[in-house]
Structure 1
Amino acid sequence: MANFEIPLTSNPQTFTISLSGTEYRLTMQWRNADQGGWVLDIADTSANPIIQGIPLVTGVNLLEQYAYLGFTGVLWVQTTADPDAVPTFDNLGVGSHLYWYTE
């Protein structure tokens, strides 16, 4: 299984990235509310939404329920010190990481 870390910083951000040969526009947003946290929007390069509001939770394939959309990999969040700890506002990209896995 090949993998790489998607480079993030602990700031809201939008960027374009190639995942398994397909270009996507990713937007990371912090939702400062009870049960809030980091959420991910995925769009095409023209900013047409594909998926919006995926919470960055650990221990699951974030794209599993969207398999019908044809994604060819797995998005996985993991925190260095505690793999099951959800990313905080301050540790995204530092202690908490977003990975893309392919088979």
Structure 2
Amino acid sequence: MATTSEFPLRPEAQTMTVELGAVEYVVRFGWADTTDGGWFIDISAYDGAPLLRGLPLTAGENVLQQFDYLGIPGEIRVQTDGNDLVEPSYSNLGSNGKVLFISP
């Protein structure tokens, strides 16, 4: 049975240490204030070694899908108001806009 956890977010750039599966990572969320911008995520190993940089938080898909080789055991998904196809805006991240980690 899958377990779903929500990242504890606020509508601002932020960095946190989180456990994804049984491994701790440093995760940074940022906002690209451009026409095609939006929220993005950087993921680093606990020691700070970069794994992913500038990965768009795109609704409707597993954000980690093409990075299975990293061995992160689960999915990161984005939604707003429970709609899997709507991405969070700058001002609703952490309230109506959610970033979820789903582990197997």
Q: Does TM-score exceed 0.5, indicating one fold?
A: yes
Q: Which moved more, 1:75-84 or 1:86-95?
A: 75-84
Maintained 8 Å contact 2:20/2:72:
no
1:31-46 matches, cutoff 5 A: 31-46=32-47
Q: Distance in 2 between matches of 1:101 and 1:69?
A: 16
Aligned-pair RMSD on alpha carbons?
Answer: 1.1
Task: Return the alpha-carbon distance in structure 2 between the equivalents of residues 45 and 81 of structure 1.
Answer: 31
2:6 match: 5
Partner of 1:61: 62
Which aligned segments of 4 or more residues in structure 1 are displaced greater than 6 angstroms? none
**2:97 maps to which residue?**
96
Deviations 1:21-40 (A, max 9, x none): 10000001111011001110
How much has 1:83 moved relative to structure 2?
A: 3.2
Tell me the CA shift for residue 11 of structure 1: 0.6
Residue identity (%): 33
SS in structure 2 of the partner of residue 24 of structure 1: strand
Question: TM-score w.r.t. structure 2 length?
Answer: 0.93
Residue 48 (structure 1) aligned with residue 49 (structure 2): yes
1:61 maps to a residue whose letter is N
Residue 84 (structure 2) aligns with: 83
Aligned pair count?
Answer: 103
Alpha-carbon deviations, 1:59-95, whole Å to 9, x = none? 1000000001111101111111643221111011111
Give the TM-score normalised by the residue count of structure 1. 0.94
- The Cα shift of 1:42 comes to 0.1
**Structure 1 residue identity aligned to 2:60:** G
* 1:14 aligned residue: 15
